[in-house]
Every structure is written in structure tokens, then in C-alpha cells.
Amino acid sequence: MLKRTHLRQFLALVEAGSFTRAAERLAITQPTLSAGIAELERLVGSPLFLRERRAVRLTEAGNRLLPSARAIEREFRSAESAARGTPAPRQPLRLGVVTSLPGALVTAIAARCATDQPLALTEGSDIDLRRRLAEHQLDAALTLLRGGENAEALIEEDYAMILPARHRLAGRSMLEPEELADEVMIARRSCEILGETSRYFTAHGIRPRFLLRSHNDERCLSLVAAGCGVTTGPRSLAMPGTIAVPLRGYDFVRRIGIVTAQGLDKSRTQQVADAVRDAVAAA
């Protein structure tokens, strides 16, 4: 007979991504969890997980079970709350945000959602966020939209050179790549088009001296604002003390929207989408 314990163990393993972390979350031993999952798979008549060396992934049968398991668990929690006479707690939307989003924008989105939609934020690269979505560790991600992806672009912006506000070229409407040959560069390791940027400068015969290569965008932009070098990035990353200037032939554009996990009720992300629009409009 299928029991709630089976579903709770199943959901914990989905969210944790490994037997070790799921067992810790449930405060049980790993052999107990393994036995419970094995019994659940016997009851449903199909393997639910692909066991890999360091993680587990849902099978097709596991993906079919997941929406029902979550719905049943929500109903159990609602019934328990009703019996105690307390409101059922709202489960937070586990939202991933791509690392290169400006911190002020992420803060504004979270603040606008705070009163309506509980959030649990996770940051990472586009690749990392999509992996977490596939492994059901996230419900949705505010990340780069790929070609052919059927999602609304909530943010669309071009990439540019980001210069100190007092830089000799700061007043230009367009830069030529050759003008940057003697500039000290600061490389944003979090940049989604890092490879394309490298090829662009190489194609124009520019091999700059680098002051810093860092995944920390705030540190990179702070150095630019202090006049220590220049960098490239989406226009929204320009902070006080810096200015974004277009670079001829550097015609990259990024589109950012909400990508959801399989089986998620799309209405759960509507408030986040509205918050993003409001935050972008206010920026």
C-alpha cells in the first residue's frame, strides 16, 4: 500500500538530488531511505530514479509521478493545518536567478514579491540553473532564453563596453575596437558570451593586458568605476561611476525570461513575472 512516507521520501530525494542529502533532510539513515524508495518503485511497478555516481535523476515514470506526489503532499499539509485550526503554510517558489543579473534588480524583484509570493532564491550560471530545473531542485529560473524557447522575454538588452565615467572615450556614441588596444581589461568570468567576446577581440588583433579575471561582477564593476580598467557586459550592469558605450560589431543581445520546471503550475510564476516587469520599468 502506498503511504505518505513513500511520497515524502520520494520528494526529498528529488529535491536533494542524492540519497545522502535526502536522508539528512529526513533525519533517517541512508539504508532506510534506500529501502523506502525501493519499496515505492516496487509498488508503482517501475524505476523512478536513475542512480548515478554522485546524484540521482528522475526516470520518465518518476517525472510522471512528481506532480501528483507534490499535490498529495500539499493536501496532507492543508488537512493537518485545518485540523490544528491554523492556516496552511505557503510553500516558497524556489526561483533561480542568473548570476549576471544586477544585484539591485534581484533585490527589487524580491521586495516586490515579498508580500504575495514566498521566495527561495538561488543564483547560478544558466547551465547550472537549467540543471537544477531538470533535477527538480528549482521550480523556475529567471535566466537566458535560448533560440526557439517559448517564453516571454522580460528583459532584452544589448552588450557594450563599460568604461569609467571619466574615461577619455566615455562621451562617444560608438567605439571602434582598435581604440581599446591599450586599455587594461577586467574580465567578467560570469559573462554568458565570454567565448564570443574573446574571439571578437582576437579577430580585431587586440590582446589586452588583464588586471583581474573574476566571477564577482560587483568587484569587476567597482574596479571600473575606480578607473582601474574597462570591461564588457550587458548594459544593465553599468553602475554609478561607469558608463556603457556601444562597440562596433559587438552586436550581442541577451533575452531573459522565466523558465519553469516540468509540471509546475504556471500561475505560480505570474507574480514573479509581474515583479520583474515592475522592477525593470522602475530601473
Domain 95-154+255-282, CATH homologous superfamily name and number: Periplasmic binding protein-like II (3.40.190.10)
**Fold: same for 95-154+255-282 and 155-254:** yes
Q: Check residue 88 and give its pLDDT.
A: 57
State which H helix or E strand residue 163 sits in: strand 155-164
Convert the pLDDT of each residue in 234-258 to its tens digit. Answer: 999 999 999 999 999 999 999 999 8
Q: What are the C-alpha distances in Å from 20 to residues 5, 39, 47, 63, 132?
A: 17, 18, 19, 21, 17
Q: Check residue 25 and give its pLDDT.
A: 85
Which CATH number applies to 4-84?
1.10.10.10
Provide the pLDDT confidence category of residue 144 given band limits of 50, 70 and 90: very high
Convert the pLDDT of each residue in 83-125 to its tens digit. Answer: 776 665 667 788 899 999 988 888 988 888 776 668 889 999 9
Q: What are the C-alpha distances in Å from 134 to residues 139, 162, 259, 265?
A: 10, 34, 11, 16
Query: In whole angstroms, what is the distance from residue 104 CA to residue 253 CA?
Result: 21
- Domain ranges for the chain, please list them: 4-84, 95-154+255-282, 155-254
CA dihedral defined by 109, 112, 115, 117, rounded to 10 degrees?
-40
* CATH fold group of domain 155-254: D-Maltodextrin-Binding Protein; domain 2 (3.40.190)
